[in-house]
């Protein structure tokens, strides 16, 4: 039985700005390579999001297709893209269990 998915509300511009600030100093955890969009890539992104909540994805290959791939990653992982710079996308997904959340938005 699968755990219930977290209900994501739309992020405000202030929350997106805060997440971009946090993401500035982290290294990409996911690299999109020669195989492009695969189920394994989606699983890897989902696992990293569950562990870290905020993940950088670097496009080493498929750079020209990233505008189509980023929304697909967002849809398949239930995450939010909070920003892209060059060939790097920053995605966020709030942990479903409140006590395990690592990112707390300022009031």
Confidence of residue 7 (pLDDT cuts 50, 70, 90): low
Instruction: Taking residues 58-80, report their average pLDDT.
Output: 92
Tokens of 96: 């479903």
Q: With bands split at pLDDT 50, 70 and 90, how would you rate the model's confidence at 3?
A: very low
To the nearest whole number, what is the mean pLDDT of the chain? 89
pLDDT above 90: residue 70? yes
**Backbone phi and psi for residue 32, each to the nearest 5 degrees, phi listed first:** -90, 115
**Cα–Cα distance measured from residue 78 to residue 12, given in angstroms and rounded to the nearest whole number:** 17
Q: Does pLDDT of 63 surpass 90?
A: no
**What is the mean predicted confidence (pLDDT) over 1-30?**
81
Average pLDDT over every residue of 62-67: 88
* pLDDT at position 43: 96
* pTM for the predicted model, two decimal places: 0.86
Residue 98 CB neighbours (<10 A): 9
Q: What is the pLDDT of residue 73?
A: 94
Nearest to 18 by CA among 69, 70, 90: 90
């Amino acid at each position: 039985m699968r755990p219930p998915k977290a209900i994501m509300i739309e992020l405000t511009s202030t929350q997106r700005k805060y997440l971009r600030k946090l993401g500035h100093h982290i290294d990409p955890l996911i690299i999109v390579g020669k195989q492009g969009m695969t189920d394994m890539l989606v699983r890897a992104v989902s696992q990293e999001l569950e562990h870290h909540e905020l993940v950088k994805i670097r496009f080493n290959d498929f750079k020209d297709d990233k505008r189509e791939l980023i929304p697909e990653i967002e849809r398949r992982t239930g995450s939010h893209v909070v920003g892209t710079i060059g060939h790097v996308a920053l995605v966020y997904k709030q942990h479903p269990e409140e006590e395990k959340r690592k990112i707390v938005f300022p009031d």
